[in-house]
Structure 1
């Protein structure tokens, strides 16, 4: 059976990224959305925009052409789709799962295998970018899965991302997202060390940040964090230190399975663990600067 044309979408996971994505699908894409969330305020907000609110997770799979999910991790992925009230049990053959979470390939594979048995297409579509990019529809989306299902889902994905990369027919997108996140996690640690040298050497803080932002290392990630670094305000996290630890654990798990030597990733993970143990785990992950400063005698 060919993939069904996507007009009605079930949506699970209305967090910092999921909420702006859901809004865009309604307001920009014109899709009919069916949502499930235990958060009443979010349900009411989307209902005012025209979304239908499902009464249970399981009901989300009824009468939809596709389900999009953006959820915390492996445990939630398995429970959401394969639990006693899993969405997958109610999805029709020919419908498509568009799964945007950061999870391990092994957990993802379990959902893929059951979806295939039921004639449901399964696209791994992890996203990269900030909440601002989500609001603008400028996320990067890594996609792997059935090629026909991918092409059928492209109109949906183009409402969400400005850069969409199809990388294979299996779990390739999961591996790609985790390896990108290794680099994302390492960046604030080395930036923190470098900035602390400049700070202790007496260079004005604004000058340091201006120099960083106009240098050869001024990546989109660093550019997005310049204001956070300048103000040293980590209290409004788009992504927390605890979330980074989870992603690094997934990356290290995959590296172990593949036999990859990962000393730097292991060390970076320990540094974020120290940040969490110091009571800063719920701050933005760039708060690692605060940890490095404190350990260097800057208060």
Structure 2
């Protein structure tokens, strides 16, 4: 089974490597050609265009940045060139409407489309332990399950098109809200004279503990290292889409609105390409403190 992979970024590059290591033939395409160099050296084939990749592959995977990118790649390239019977797997975090739109257009072409957003970050992609949330036709899901197993540790089929995207946005809602709450707490505690490392120790051994607290403090904030695992601008995109779902569900006021504003402001302050934990930086500046390891 020949696999095409479009989007060789932080996540996609690691997924492609795992697929190659498990014996799959993989063709790759990326808008920035420099990014395909490593996969090609590892055994992938570089296609010069999306059209050529779509014409030559039985399964097409995409892992892109924004909903607009997904619509463009599918509507202007994949769906016009893929053969009937092709199965498309989109690992991007997008709104359910985007997934449903592409799925309906794919069906008209005799193509299957699965929304399969992932959680677990670069480390999960590298180890093959991602959580994969799947929406779409179950028969198509069953056909590509072995492929998903290469990159995922927890794989859940959730229902019709859009279901995977909804589940991922609910996860990202919690990520954004927890990130903001962690930042607020650590900045406030520091402002009132608590030693950041001591406060963190207390929180991480109490009911206030969370994976986000541990991730942000241990891997990013204390070391003042904000190279991205998941960037601020992407969390802003995800929480904005998640908030739309909460509004559609009937909620009027909810904590995600504050998180969306915090991530919007951080992006506008030039922090969009930093790790999501950098949402703490404007709060530190506002309160005149820096949350760092004890000297």
Q: Which of the numbers 2, 6, 11 marks the counterpart of 1:8?
A: 2
* 2:293 alignment partner in structure 1: none
Structure 1 range deviating more: 42-51 or 148-157 = 42-51
Render the CA deviation track for 1:171-196: whole Å, top value 9, x for unaligned: 11111111111110011111112112
Once residues 125 and 206 of structure 2 are traced to their aligned partners in structure 1, the CA distance between those partners, rounded to angstroms, is 26
Q: Which of the numbers 83, 86, 100 marks the counterpart of 1:95?
A: 86
Q: What is the aligned residue count?
A: 289
* 1:230 alignment partner in structure 2: 222
Task: Tell me, yes or no, if the aligned pair for 1:33 and 1:51 is still in contact at 8 Å.
Answer: yes
Distance 1:262 1:178, change over 3 A: farther
Distance 1:19 1:224, change over 3 A: same
* 1:62 alignment partner in structure 2: 55
Once residues 82 and 72 of structure 1 are traced to their aligned partners in structure 2, the CA distance between those partners, rounded to angstroms, is 16
**2:45 matches 1:31:** no
Once residues 152 and 262 of structure 1 are traced to their aligned partners in structure 2, the CA distance between those partners, rounded to angstroms, is 42
* 2:277 alignment partner in structure 1: 286
Distance 1:221 1:153, change over 3 A: farther
**3-state SS of 2:229 partner:** coil
* 2:43 alignment partner in structure 1: 50
Once residues 228 and 261 of structure 1 are traced to their aligned partners in structure 2, the CA distance between those partners, rounded to angstroms, is 34
**2:267 matches 1:276:** yes
* 2:12 alignment partner in structure 1: 18
Q: Note the 1:140-289 alignment, pairs <5 A.
A: 140-225=131-216, 226-234=218-226, 236-289=227-280
Q: Which of the numbers 41, 49, 74 marks the counterpart of 2:34?
A: 41
Once residues 250 and 10 of structure 1 are traced to their aligned partners in structure 2, the CA distance between those partners, rounded to angstroms, is 28
**3-state SS of 2:56 partner:** coil
Once residues 31 and 218 of structure 1 are traced to their aligned partners in structure 2, the CA distance between those partners, rounded to angstroms, is 40
Render the CA deviation track for 1:34-69: whole Å, top value 9, x for unaligned: 111133332222111111111111111112110000
Gaps of 5+ in 1: 1-6
**3-state SS of 1:159 partner:** helix
Render the CA deviation track for 1:105-132: whole Å, top value 9, x for unaligned: 1111111011111211111100011111
What TM-score, normalized by structure 1, do the two folds share? 0.91
**2:65 matches 1:72:** yes
Gaps of 5+ in 2: 291-295
Task: Tell me, yes or no, if the aligned pair for 1:142 and 1:166 is still in contact at 8 Å.
Answer: yes
Once residues 252 and 17 of structure 2 are traced to their aligned partners in structure 1, the CA distance between those partners, rounded to angstroms, is 42
Task: Tell me, yes or no, if the aligned pair for 2:115 and 2:164 is still in contact at 8 Å.
Answer: yes
Alpha-carbon RMSD across the aligned residues, in angstroms, is 1.7
Render the CA deviation track for 1:61-84: whole Å, top value 9, x for unaligned: 11211000011122111110111x
Once residues 262 and 77 of structure 1 are traced to their aligned partners in structure 2, the CA distance between those partners, rounded to angstroms, is 30
Task: Tell me, yes or no, if the aligned pair for 2:57 and 2:86 is still in contact at 8 Å.
Answer: yes
* 1:298 alignment partner in structure 2: 289
**3-state SS of 1:115 partner:** helix
* 1:3 alignment partner in structure 2: none
Q: Which of the numbers 106, 110, 113 marks the counterpart of 1:119?
A: 110
